[in-house]
Structure 1
Amino acid sequence: MPAIDAPTAASRPTLETAALVVAAGRGSRAGSGDAPKQYRVVGGMPVLRRTLLALSSAPSIDAIQVVIHRDDMPLYEACVAGLSLRCVLHPPVVGGDTRQQSVLAGLRALGKHAPRHVLIHDAARPFVTRAVIEATVEALAAGEAGVIAALPVVDTLKRAQDDGAGDMHISETVDRTPLRAAQTPQGFRFATILDAHERAARDGASELTDDAAVAQWAGETVRFVAGDPANVKITTAEDLMQADRKLTLEDWAARGDIRTASAYDVHAFEPGDHVMLGGIEIAHGKALKGHSDADVVLHALTDALLATLCDGDIGHHFPPSDPAWHKASSDRFLAFAAERVRARDGAIAHLDTTIVCEEPKIGPHREAMRARIAEICAVPLSRVSVKATTSERLGFTGRGEGIAALASATVRLPFSPDDTA
C-alpha cells in the first residue's frame, strides 16, 4: 500500500473568513434571570444558539470562535449540545473583564488558524441576517480593511444639558444626517484588527467601545454596509420578552395548516379500588377494565391527536392483542402521539376533553389532570381543558357501568407540498 503524504501548509485549505462571537458578558441590564442573557431562552432556544445558527447559515463563514466567561462553560456546553452547523465551531476560549479583552482573547485563539478575514459579532444579536453577513464579507473581499453594518439614525436627536439643579433641558438639536447606529458584525482583515487590539492593549487604550473604534484608533479607515432594523441587540429584560414574542409569533405563523380532530373512548367498570383518569390515580370502589391501565381520558386524547395527522388510532399503534401493552401506563400512548406531532414540525395548540360519568367526582381532580396532560404533551397548562358532566342517569354511564370521554385536539403544522397534491 503506497504511503500517504501528510498535507503540507501549502496544500491545506485556506481559512478565508471566521466569525468571532463575543459571549463573555454578564448582561446585568437583562434582569436577574438564572443565566446571562446570551444563555436565556427566547422562542424555545438560547440566544447564543440562535446566533450561532444565524452565522452558520451564511456560506461565506468557514469557522466560528466563541469567547465565553470563565464561569459559563456548563451553560455553553448545554447551549451547543447537539448543535449541527454548516461550518467549523472551534472550542470556546475564556474572555477577559472587558469586551476589548475578550475580543483580543478570541483573536489570539483564531491566530493559529490564520483566517484572512474576521467578523466580530455580539452573541446577543441573534437576528442577524445572511444578507448583512454577506454584504460585510463582500466589502472585505473587495479590499476594505474594515467594514461595519450600520443604520442611518432616523430619530431627532437632542443634546441635553444639566441646568445645575438636577434637571435636564435641551441645549441643541443635533444634525443626524452624518450619524449612523452601529451594529455587528464588524468585519476586518484579520491581521489588521489583531494588530490594532494588541497595540491598544499595550498602550492602555481600554475605553474603546467597539472594534471599529479600535481600528480607527490604530489609524484604519472603516466603511459602512447597510445594516438591518431586525438585527437588534438584546440588552434588557424587555428586549428578551419582545424577542420571545416575535419568535413565538413567527413560529406559529409558519405553521398555518391548522387541524382539529375529535375522538371518543369508553371503558367499563370491573372490581378494583381506583381508576386512572387523565394520567392520575383516583381512589374509587371500582376500576376501569382494559388491556392497558384503561385511562379513558388519555386514550381519547391520543386518538384525537393521531387523527389530526391522519395517522391511524391508538389500536393501530398499540394493538390490544400485543402483550407488550398489557397494563401499560397510558401516558406512553399520549406522549407518543404528541411526539408524532413534533416529528412533523407541528405544535399542539389546544387539547380538550369531556369526561362523562356519575362517579367518581371529577371536580376535585380537574386541575391535577390538566397539569398531568400538559406535562405528558409538553405544552403550557393554558392549552389544556378538562371538563366533566353526567348523563342524567341515562345510558350505561348513568347506570354506573363505565366511564366515557370525548376529546378534541387542535394542532398547527407547516404546509407541505404533498398537501396540495
Structure 2
Amino acid sequence: MPKPPAVALPSAFKRIGWSNLFAQFSEQIALAAAPLAAVLLLSAGPAETGWLQMAQTLPFLLLSIPAGLLVDRASRRTLMVLSEILRALSLVATLVLMASGMLTMPLLAIMGFVGAIGTVCYNVAAPALIPAIVPRAQLADANRWLELARSLAYSGGPAIGGAIVAWTGASLAYVAATTLSLLAVVLLSGLSEQEQAARSRRDLLHDLVEGARFLAGHTLLRPILVTAIVFNTSWFVLQAVYVAYAVRTLGLTATGVGVTLGIYGAGMMIGAYAAPAIARRIPFGAMIALGPLGGLLAAVVMLLTIWFPHGALAGLSFFLFGAGPVLWSIATLTLRQAITPNAMLGRVSAFITTATFGARPVGAALGAIVATHHGVKACLAVATVGFLIQFLVIIASQVPRLRALPEPA
C-alpha cells in the first residue's frame, strides 16, 4: 500500500483501502487462474476460453445500472460485504467442483459470472461510500490510494495467479483468491454503518431517468463520459490485436509480451505516486486532460512501431497508457464524487461503468473486423484516430479550464 498522506485519512477509509487491495488481488488472481484451469484441466481451446472471458465480464455490462439503483437505496457498506461474500462463495464452489472432479466449462463459466456479479456491486458501491467517510479536501488522496491498490493488483495479480498455477496447480490459486476475498470481507465488516440521506421510495424507472438526466445534462460529467467511451473502445481495438502483432511483427517472445504488459501496470503505479506532486503544480482540469493526452501519445508511439518495429517502443507505449490515464482515473473520480449529490452517486457511477465496460466488447469486435479485412496495422491506425478523438472531446469541453474542484450540484 502507498504511504499515507501528510494529513492522515480516516481509519474507516484505511479499512476500505486494504479491503479494496485484497479484493482486487483476489479478482485478478482468479481471472488469471480461470483460463489456465480451463486449458490445463478441461482441455479448452481458444474459443472456449473466449466464451469464459465473456462470462466473467458480462455482468459489468448487464448489471452495473441495477447495482447503481441498489447502491442508492441500500446500505453501501452492507452491499459491499455481501458482494464480496458472493464472490468468495463462487470461488469456494469452483474449488469444490475441482476437488470432486465435477468441474466443466459451463460450470466454470457460471461460477465466473456469479463472482463477477459481486465484483460489479463492490465496484459501484465503493466510490459512492467514500464521500461519506472521507472529507472533501482528502477525496483525491483517498482515490489515489484506491488507484494504487488497483495498479498493484493489475500488475501483480495475474503474475501471481499464473505462477501459483504453474507451481502447484489451479486449486491453490483459488484457495489464495478465496482467502484474500474473505480478508476483504472481515475488514469491511468492521466498519460502522454510514448514514445516507433519507429519501422517499420512488419508482425505479424515475430514479433511472433522474440519474441519466443528471449525467447527460452536466457540462462536466457529459464530456468525461464521452471521452471514457471513446478511450475504452480505442484501447480494446488495440488490445484485440496486440499480442499477435507483438509476436509476429515485433518479434517478441511470450516473455517479452508479458514484460510490455507488465510495464503498463508499472506506469499506473508511477503515475499514481506522482499524482500529488503533479496536482500541486498544475490546475485540476489540466490534470484531468493529461489522461487523454497520455493515451494519444501512447497510441502514436505504438503506431510508430509500424516503421520502427522494436519492443522498446511498445513498452514505452504501454508505460504511457498506464501513467497518463491513471491520473484521469484519480481526478475524474474525485470530480464525480465532489459534484454529484450523494443520493445519486450509485446511479452515476453505474452509468459510467456500464458505458465504459460496454465499449470494451465493441472495441474488441471492431479490432477483429478491421484486422480481418484490412490487417493488424490498420487497427493501430484506427485506434490512434480514436485516441485523437477522445483527446479533442475533452479539450473542447470546460473540464480543462477547472482551476480546482467545483462546488456540488
Provide TM-score, normalisation by structure 1: 0.26
Larger RCO (alpha carbons 8 Å, 6+ apart)? 2
Give the structure with the larger helix fraction.
2
Higher Cα radius of gyration = 1
